[in-house]
Structure 1
């Protein structure tokens, strides 16, 4: 298979790389320390077309492809994974389901705003008692006239407190189990959408993550995404797409860690020579490079299949699982190369080490990814 990028994709990647280095990286450490959201960068990403990479131009997007989206996520994640996930969530779990399942009126109303960066969005699926078992969610939506009344709670919602539009999953027919789940486009500014204080997280601290309580939230019936009972299908379809983006994010973290490890190993002198000349360090660098190469091919192969309309849940899970474990491995080894200095917040590798940890957890734990892969293989 030909994995060479088109000239357009190369130009797009280089543009994002330049933006990441010049605008995103300089403030990354400070944003991490203060758990500060980058409002200014979101606006700039919107102007660059990064908040709606694969959204057609007719709906205000860049009109790019999935590969370009993955390249953008990867480049941002090399320098600040928190900014990368803010952009990724807006694209993959908010814009994507609206684009794929929304009607023309919904696409015209919401996508231009989300793609411009004027507002950002998110995905309300996970609940305090429904994480990996997403089909057991308890949030309920009851139809009354021309609106739905939603009550329940959501947990670990990325872009809550800073986002405006969210694709939210709720049960409209509890007796039907997962077949009774429906999806809605909700406005976080409406009464009844109550956002708790941001979680004090280990990593990804420039990304806002909060609990959300829904108290008699009124949602117009016209905001139903697809039809009643389609919610679980919408969620799974969305996650099969978005997990590839998490793979790209993890790949970016791995590459960022690798670059830091190589750089430090050529500068640090022990026993009269750079530690890069020591075989023990060379083995670490060789192992990191090999895993990164494998992860990159898996992520972009999954992305290619997604881009031609042949999304493969098995491949998406493999890409997310392997790339995230590669990120864990590479941040560990790169920090080890730094020795004691790697344990200091003065060094970028310490932040990447913390940021990498969540990639094996969110958008489906790696244990769930292994179940998806095994089911695909064994039936």
Structure 2
């Protein structure tokens, strides 16, 4: 096993950290509802020029052709260098939940038509699947797609849609066969501005404030059949594939942010004095910092193990779920610990409080921690459909 990146990846990550520190630092505290679309797109274009918004897309379609390991390393560098985890989250959601499904399931014509502008930073993508009555139960969608000749008519709505307020392109999941289960969903590429598609007000969120999020509504939205992604009934497969990328590579952002907060916490514990000594000299504080380090390193190993498998085409369901679960739970606890070490300063100001707010949603999106445990248990053979265990 080799725990080091190659020289090209190391150089790329150093460039990403420098870019993020220069262009993306200190923006994560602004309220979500005060979205400055012009500034968001300006930074997005800069990220596109750095190759961040299309990194995992093959070179032939405008991307950098990075595998899952290198993509995770870049996202980790972005999380480390940027004080705006929300903006980094928007980049990752665009790339892994929207572009990679087009890469894996799109026709050659679709790839040539949509991917270059999405990789360059000229256009922004959003992925719509979550609905008010279909969050964890993602197969029970109420948004319908009815075929009429060479077109589909979409009716329904999505909620919690990342990038919706700024998106130019939507990858949308709809039911073409209601109650059809895994084979009842179909994915579509829908362009913003299509009649019948509208976007609701921007959410004001607890964390990830730099990531614009809103509802999306479809009222008789007509989509050409040529914009179907994959075959009819393949929507769940498209979604599952995108979640493998998202649950691994996106969560590397949190690894970088955790490392940044851990480093500042070590610095604070070494400088802050109480009772005539730096607080890091006290075992209660030093052991808490050690626990923070342990959680980060364990989560990082699980994530890169999953990335290694994804890069090699592994169909393992457990590794991505374990990685997502470990990183999200470690991030929340590390945020709590960072605040505890800082005491009152951790509560009223600074990166610890910002990081904790950004970490809290990680236990919910891309499948809650409880859903990940269900997925892992099912993959282990536990649950309602498990095989009887033979006693010896």
Q: TM-score range by the shorter chain?
A: over 0.9
The residue number in structure 1 matching 2:65 is 63
Aligned CA distance change for structure 1 residues 184 and 122 (closer, same or farther; 3 Å): same
Matches within 5 A, 1:85-164: 85-164=89-168
2:265–2:341 contact (8 Å) kept in structure 1: yes
1:258–1:331 contact (8 Å) kept in structure 2: no
TM-score normalised to the size of structure 2? 0.93
Hey, what's the Cα distance between the residues in 2 that align with 1:60 and 1:326?
A: 35
C-alpha deviations, 1:73-110, integer Å up to 9, x for none? Answer: 22222332101111101110111000000000000011
Hey, what's the Cα distance between the residues in 2 that align with 1:317 and 1:177?
A: 22
Aligned CA distance change for structure 1 residues 349 and 33 (closer, same or farther; 3 Å): farther
TM-score normalised to the size of structure 1? 0.96
Q: Is 2:370 the counterpart of 1:367?
A: yes
Task: Give the length in aligned residue pairs.
Answer: 378
Hey, what's the Cα distance between the residues in 2 that align with 1:6 and 1:171?
A: 44
C-alpha deviations, 1:12-60, integer Å up to 9, x for none? Answer: 1111111111211144445779555632221111001001101111101
1:74–1:251 contact (8 Å) kept in structure 2: yes
Please, which runs of 5 or more residues in structure 2 have no aligned partner? 387-392
Aligned with 1:296 (options 293, 296, 300) = 300
Deviates more, 1:61-70 or 1:197-206: 61-70
Matches within 5 A, 1:1-379: 1-30=1-30, 34=34, 36=36, 38-78=40-80, 79-345=83-349, 347-378=350-381, 379=386
Hey, what's the Cα distance between the residues in 1 that align with 2:377 and 2:179?
A: 29
1:97–1:234 contact (8 Å) kept in structure 2: yes
The structural deviation recorded for 1:256 is: 2.6
The structure that is helix-richer by fraction is 1
Structure 1 residue ranges, 4+ long, deviating more than 3 angstroms after superposition:
26-37
Please, which runs of 5 or more residues in structure 1 have no aligned partner? none
The structural deviation recorded for 1:68 is: 2.0
Aligned-pair Cα RMSD in Å: 1.5
C-alpha deviations, 1:145-194, integer Å up to 9, x for none? Answer: 21111000101000001011111100111152331211101112212111
Hey, what's the Cα distance between the residues in 2 that align with 1:149 and 1:24?
A: 40
Deviates more, 1:74-83 or 1:43-52: 74-83
Aligned CA distance change for structure 1 residues 161 and 35 (closer, same or farther; 3 Å): closer
1:53–1:62 contact (8 Å) kept in structure 2: yes
Question: Is the partner of 1:217 in helix, strand or coil?
Answer: strand
Hey, what's the Cα distance between the residues in 1 that align with 2:291 and 2:124?
A: 38
Question: Is the partner of 2:164 in helix, strand or coil?
Answer: coil
Aligned CA distance change for structure 1 residues 202 and 93 (closer, same or farther; 3 Å): same
Question: Is the partner of 2:214 in helix, strand or coil?
Answer: strand
Hey, what's the Cα distance between the residues in 2 that align with 1:349 and 1:311?
A: 37
Hey, what's the Cα distance between the residues in 1 that align with 2:32 and 2:268?
A: 22
Hey, what's the Cα distance between the residues in 1 that align with 2:32 and 2:217?
A: 26
